[in-house]
Amino acid sequence: MPQQDGRINVALLAVPEVTASALYGMFDLFSSPGRDWAFIVSGAAGEQRMRPYIVARSSQPFRAANGIWVNPDYDFKDCPKPDIVCVPDFFVDPGESVAGMYNPEAEWLKQCHEEGAMLASACSGAVLLGEAGLLANCEATIHWGYVATLTNNYPGVRVRVDRSLVLSGEAHRIVMAGGGSSWQDLALYLIARYVGLKEAIEVAKVYMLQWHDMGQQPFASLMSLRQTSDATIARCQEWLALNYKTHAPVAMMTTLSGLPERSFIRRFAKATGRRPIDYVHALRLEEAKQMLETTDLSFEAIANEAGYEDTSFFGRLFRRKTGLTPTQYRLRFGSLRQALKHR
């Protein structure tokens, strides 16, 4: 609920590993509703509708992960009661546990939630929601490279990388944004929900923001670079990296391994997390994505270069795995190359 002066209190939780661009970017966006659009169109700033402030376990300044100084406005004890708490992304090793490292933050988040605040996370910030025990048996999202960070450490969490935002919990009082610049989507959603859709659209226009309606799927790498201690499977992976266009590559790897076919498939899946044929497709499609981004080759030529004789099959598989057709993918990710060609 708005405070006595009508403004929405938005607490931005900062830890020493925080990404400063997300922290201060959200600060700017939450400062904008009611103020900036009026200034742009009339030259006079309007009344600010939200009050963002930075909160940390200590109010003492510290350097963020990239070396920028963060000067918290409050610590947990003297922080004004927030209507919304946002957790920006921070640096955490993919898949690793942070148990015990952020107990004060987790306890404060749990307390804020119990007192009725909306909790929101961007990218790896969802890990702190997990530490607070708020993701058990819930849907969630996080940067595609950090899915294992949630699934390995918080039982029952169901990660949806196909969505840019995921709402969870009672009355949808937990909202998570995936990765990268999706913190912008998170801020726009919260502005629309707490201030109004009109104001959210105005902020998007002022900052020239684009909603990531495709989710993370087009951005995600299809390859999980899982290291394996299985020397036989590692040798097959190395061979495939150079020979992915080969006809019947799974049969060739089976021969190379010296194992019976069923044993090879089982052992490969255990070592890599994928069946051999799925691994082949993932590697081929990553190569196809690179060619779509960096060359003018026709789709038929790219399909052949990636190891597919049937262009229509390649197109269907590409769309199923990335959420975009090859044409859509090239339009979205090839524009930077085109811009550089005409500089």
Give 162-218 pLDDT, tens digit per residue.
777 888 887 889 999 887 678 888 898 899 999 998 898 899 888 988 766 555 555
Q: Is the pLDDT of residue 159 over 70?
A: yes
Kindly provide the residue ranges of all beta strands, DSSP E only, lying in the chain, ordered along the sequence: 8-13, 50-56, 62-63, 69-70, 74-75, 84-87, 118-122, 139-140, 158-159, 165-168, 174-177
- The reported pLDDT for the residue numbered 343 is 46
Who contacts 185 (Cβ-Cβ below 8 Å, separation ≥6)?
164, 165, 177, 211, 212
Closest listed residue to residue 12, CA positions, set 212, 163, 190, 165: 190
Question: What topology is assigned to 8-207 in CATH?
Answer: Rossmann fold (3.40.50)
Percent of the chain with pLDDT over 70: 91
Q: pLDDT grade, residue 220 (50/70/90)?
A: low
Q: Is 123 exposed, middle or buried (0-12, 13-18, 19+ CB in 10 A)?
A: buried
Q: Hey, where are the domains in the chain? A: 8-207, 231-341
**What CATH code is assigned to 231-341?**
1.10.10.60
**Cβ atoms 50, 7 nearer than 8 A:** yes
Strand partners, 56: 75
Give 45-93 pLDDT, tens digit per residue.
999 999 999 999 999 999 998 899 999 999 999 999 999 999 999 988 8
CA gap 279, 39 in Å, rounded = 53
Strand partners, 63: 69
Who contacts 330 (Cβ-Cβ below 8 Å, separation ≥6)?
292, 293
Closest listed residue to residue 80, CA positions, set 3, 191, 187: 3
